[in-house]
């Protein structure tokens, strides 16, 4: 098991390099293929009325005039050894792991990301709990009461949940619950500034539900399908024949078996959550990593984009690793093999 985890971690680190290298290439390689020079790239990061000389100085300062592999090498070196940054006024040292300095704000990227992480984690954890519990419970009940009103109603809601975009459900729920009914705080309320857990949850309840709705729907449908299939299996009939209580049959034998594919998807989704967080944080104006990603991409601020990509990739890799380990817990076949 230890060897397995170790191997997975090594693979994860390699994957991170590949991801950052590709991001780097998209950002710098593609415009160059289109004929953009180092000065053209630098012209994004100077003022409206910069002279040619200023643009060229900026290109040199940001290292655009160096070959791509040197620029990428500097980024990697910064990760392990830290980097020095000339602000034009002083030389700042950015300790390892250094994700570089923003081309626009000239602030180091890592503290920004760490500063915004609690918001995104608050959003992601709450939403994940909601969608997993809500989705699985709905799916189980729908499967057991197949064809009932509950089944049909919940599957219709699930279909709507998958189909409606976050910026629609988000703005609609803000209109109703924040502005018409005034039950929840307005958009832009930072949960991290809350004085107590109640305020924290109040600021997040709408974003949680909005984000969870998108995923829960999919989980309900998956669980329902899985449960329908499992409950037809021979071992369920055997369990019933042994005289086990129906609850035990459903939860211990049926659900457990149906849960394995759900867990796989959950791991992937948890990692990919950054995508959902981008839309949710933008709709609700939450100052998290998703919003940071949007600002970074809009401003073509490469160090920030790289930072967000790296954090996103780490999320995905870790979530997958945890899920793989959890398989053993959920599925006896994996444990015994």
Rounded CA-CA distance 164/158 in Å is 10
CA distances from 105 to 109, 286, 295 (A): 10, 20, 11
Give the residue with the Cβ less far from other proteins, 41 or 132: 41
Nearest to 190, CA basis, from 203, 177, 207, 205? 203
**Residue 282 · residue 294 · CB < 8 Å:** yes
Does 190 engage in binding with other proteins (CB under 8 A)?
yes
Give the residue with the Cβ less far from other proteins, 32 or 240: 32
Give the residue with the Cβ less far from other proteins, 266 or 292: 292
Give the residue with the Cβ less far from other proteins, 54 or 71: 54
Binding track over 20-49 against other proteins, x by CB under 8 A: -----------x----x--xx--xxxxxxx
Beta partners for residue 91, in sequence order: 86
Does 52 engage in binding with other proteins (CB under 8 A)?
yes
Q: Which residues contact 87 (CB under 8 A, 6 or more apart)?
A: 106
3-state secondary structure of 92: strand
Rounded CA-CA distance 88/74 in Å is 19
3-state secondary structure of 84: strand
Q: Which residues contact 154 (CB under 8 A, 6 or more apart)?
A: 138, 141, 142, 220
Minimum gap (Å) between residue 180 Cβ and other proteins: 9
Among positions 68, 117, 144, 171, the unique one binding other proteins when judged by CB under 8 A:
171
Binding track over 278-317 against other proteins, x by CB under 8 A: ----xxxx-x---xx--x--xxx-----------------
The piece of 150-158, 183-191, 196-204, 253-261 that touches other proteins (CB under 8 A) is: 183-191
Binding track over 100-119 against other proteins, x by CB under 8 A: -----xxx----x-------
242 DSSP assignment: T
What residues line the site for other proteins (CB under 8 A)? 31, 36, 39-40, 43-52, 54-55, 57-58, 61, 87-90, 105-107, 112, 167, 171, 174-175, 179, 186-188, 190, 282-285, 287, 291-292, 295, 298-300
């Amino acid at each position: 098991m230890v060897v397995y985890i170790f191997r997975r971690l090594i693979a994860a680190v390699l994957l991170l390099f590949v991801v950052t290298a590709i991001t780097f290439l998209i950002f710098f390689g593609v415009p160059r293929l289109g004929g953009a020079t180092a000065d053209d790239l630098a012209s994004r990061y100077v003022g409206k009325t910069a002279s040619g000389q200023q643009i060229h100085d900026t290109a040199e300062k940001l290292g655009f005039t160096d070959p791509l592999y040197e620029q990428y090498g500097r980024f990697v070196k910064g990760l392990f050894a830290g980097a020095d940054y000339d602000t034009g006024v002083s030389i700042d040292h950015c300790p390892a792991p250094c994700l570089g300095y923003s081309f626009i704000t000239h602030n180091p990227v890592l503290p920004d990301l760490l500063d915004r992480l609690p918001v995104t984690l608050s959003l992601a954890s709450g939403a994940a709990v909601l969608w997993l519990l809500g989705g699985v419970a709905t799916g189980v009940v729908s499967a057991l009461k197949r064809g009932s009103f509950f089944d049909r109603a919940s599957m219709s809601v699930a279909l709507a949940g998958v189909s409606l975009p976050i910026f629609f459900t988000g703005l609609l729920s803000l209109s109703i619950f924040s502005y018409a009914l005034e039950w929840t705080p307005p958009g832009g309320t930072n949960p991290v500034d809350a004085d107590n857990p109640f305020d924290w949850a109040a600021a997040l309840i709408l974003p949680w539900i909005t984000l969870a709705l998108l995923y829960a729907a999919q989980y309900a449908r998956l669980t329902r399908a899985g449960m329908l299939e499992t409950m037809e299996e021979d071992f369920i009939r055997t369990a019933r024949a042994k005289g086990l209580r129906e609850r035990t049959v459903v939860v211990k034998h049926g659900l457990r078996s149906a849960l394995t594919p759900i867990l796989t998807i959950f791991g992937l989704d948890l990692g990919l959550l950054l995508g959902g967080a981008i839309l949710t944080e933008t709709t609700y104006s939450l100052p998290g990593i998703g919003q940071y990603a949007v600002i970074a991409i809009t401003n073509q601020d490469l160090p920030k984009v790289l930072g967000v990509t790296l954090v996103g990739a780490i999320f995905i890799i870790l979530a997958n690793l945890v899920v793989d380990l959890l398989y053993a817990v959920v599925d006896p076949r994996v444990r015994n093999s």
